[in-house]
Amino acid sequence: MKIILFITLFALSFSNLFAQVNTEKYRSSHDSLGLSLQSEIGATVQKGNVDFQEFSIESVLSYKLQSSTYLFVVSGDFGWEDRKSFSNSLLFHLRNIHDLSARFKLELFVQLDYDKEHLLISRKLTGAGLRSHLFSLGSDKLWIGNSIFFEQEKYDLPKTAKHDSELNNLRISTYLTFKKKIKEYINWDSVVYYQPMLDQLGDYKIIGETGLTFEIEDQISLAIGFNYRFDSIPADGIKKNDYKTEMGLVLSL
């Protein structure tokens, strides 16, 4: 069993949680079977002139079998300033990845989440898709994935809001993910998602993440990442764009 602990050292964010979880960064390049655990943990506490506390966690439990892998993700962010909540979000995601061949994989997934700061009371979604390996050139690797999922969303909105308070959507999700070993101790990972509504293509979401990992020692790495999310039709009063940058240590035990 391999345990990886990611301790956040710095984070600058305009969004406390990206509602669609990025499972790409949890896909291990190792072929070893069995359990693995990876966690990102962040905490900020400030007292005195400013009363500020923020706690975040993003953990995944992975179980790899001969021809399939199970991922269970928990992600949350909770923050208070002067005893007033400015962040309250939690997400659970379960995914099964089944090897159809060396190139193609079948994926089944379900997700439950909420995000009070984005006025999202609850979201429930389930879907299925196909992931394929496009090419490998040395250390460069590129994959593409296509899936379809059904989601139910409930928002905390007044009756006068333009955005519907309850939605039942069928969305397509297409993503490209790229991995490259720049040097023996530097790895680059990137992924971009495009998620339009099936019957209203003008309602779409774009999610992008990119980051570098610098291996300091066998069990210690430095990670730097940038995340972006765009929602073409957000809830009333919510901005279309969200950004997040972070830097931290990765400890492999």
Confidence of residue 78 (pLDDT cuts 50, 70, 90): confident
Q: What is the pLDDT of residue 246?
A: 75
Q: Please give the tally of structural domains in the chain.
A: 1
Q: pTM of this prediction?
A: 0.80
Domain that holds residue 174: 2-252
Q: Which domain CATH number covers 156?
A: 2.40.160.40
Q: What is the pLDDT of residue 20?
A: 55
Q: Which of 22-31, 120-129, 134-143: highest mean pLDDT? A: 120-129
Q: What is the pLDDT of residue 11?
A: 43
Mean pLDDT, the chain, whole residue set? 84
Confidence of residue 251 (pLDDT cuts 50, 70, 90): low
Cβ count within 10 A of residue 253: 9
More confident residue, 139 or 186: 186
Residues 6+ apart with CB under 8 A from 225: 209, 210, 211, 212, 245, 246, 247
More confident residue, 26 or 181: 181
